[in-house]
Amino acid sequence: MIASPPRTIRIGSRKSQLALVQTHWVQSELQKAFPGHIFEVHTMSTQGDKILDVALAKIGDKGLFTKELEVGMLNGDIDFAVHSLKDLPTRLPEGLMLGCVTEREDPADALVVHEKHQDKQLDTLPEGAVIGTSSLRRLAQLRHHYPHLAFKDVRGNLNTRLAKLDAGEYDALILAVAGLKRLGMGDRIHQNIPGDISLHAVGQGALGIECRTEDPEILAVLKVLEHPPTAQRCYAERAFLRELEGGCQVPIGVHTGIEGDTLTLTGLVASLDGQTLIKDTVSGAPDTAEQIGIDLAHRLKEQGAQAVLDEIFATIQRG
């Protein structure tokens, strides 16, 4: 228990079920650590929550899910915001910072199948099976490994996507293991997709708590939830993505691990059609996490990643 002057602290959250589950967990943990404070949850709808009929790649970058919350912080309406870290842009508005990274849930992607495919795995689904995903990262990697499958965009919250699957609109979905587990839907996970098939998104499985840079009291409160090994891994991943100037809808995947005093980051850039995968690995001391990410980005650029990314950006802009 940590003693500090009591105050009411306002937590910002999106309104989705998953966002609220994550935010209420943060609220509960902080209330235990600071019983003298009052932690209030304030919800907001973001642009990304409102536009559900257009592929994410065509409507913008990760700020779609964070901008309204960031405006709330800068205006003083809320004190900090809880995000799925994979939704948080690597470049934050002036006056805001990533104040805390929580312990990571399994960052892998999951295969969720229609009941008629309960005896199948990714590599045994029939030719032409329709796989739902709204992620270009997942799409590019799966196209590379399973060119015989068909892929179709899917939007909406987790329950909406699962309802579309169960209604037969898709043969399978690719979703995040972490989101399913946090919503108590771990039983829907049919297969954890191995990293050699699908490297996960930057920050996937971790929560990122964003706050004002000039609010040391809030920063001190948030630090009780910081998980240093997760933070170091995610700082490496975010530096890698930032150096490549990739947004949420670019096929960039990562995997990180810490063994002893060594952090290892594997990163990938893929073409939209899955024909080109550029992949490499860099290791170093965990306290040099950001430099590891930068070094890996430069290494992939030297191997042709910039040309692949330039073509993707041009394709997306052409619509």
Give, as one character, the DSSP assignment of residue 91. Answer: S
153 labelled catalytic: no
Indicate which residue of 61, 79, 87, 295 is catalytic. Answer: 87
Query: Which amino acid is it at 208?
Result: G
Q: Does an H or E element contain 294, and which?
A: helix 289-302
Nearest CA-CA partner of 160 in 141, 187, 140, 179: 179
Give, as one character, the DSSP assignment of residue 32. Answer: H
DSSP-based three-state secondary structure for 289? helix
Contact of 237 with 108, CB cutoff 8 Å: no
Tell me which residues are annotated as active site.
Answer: 87
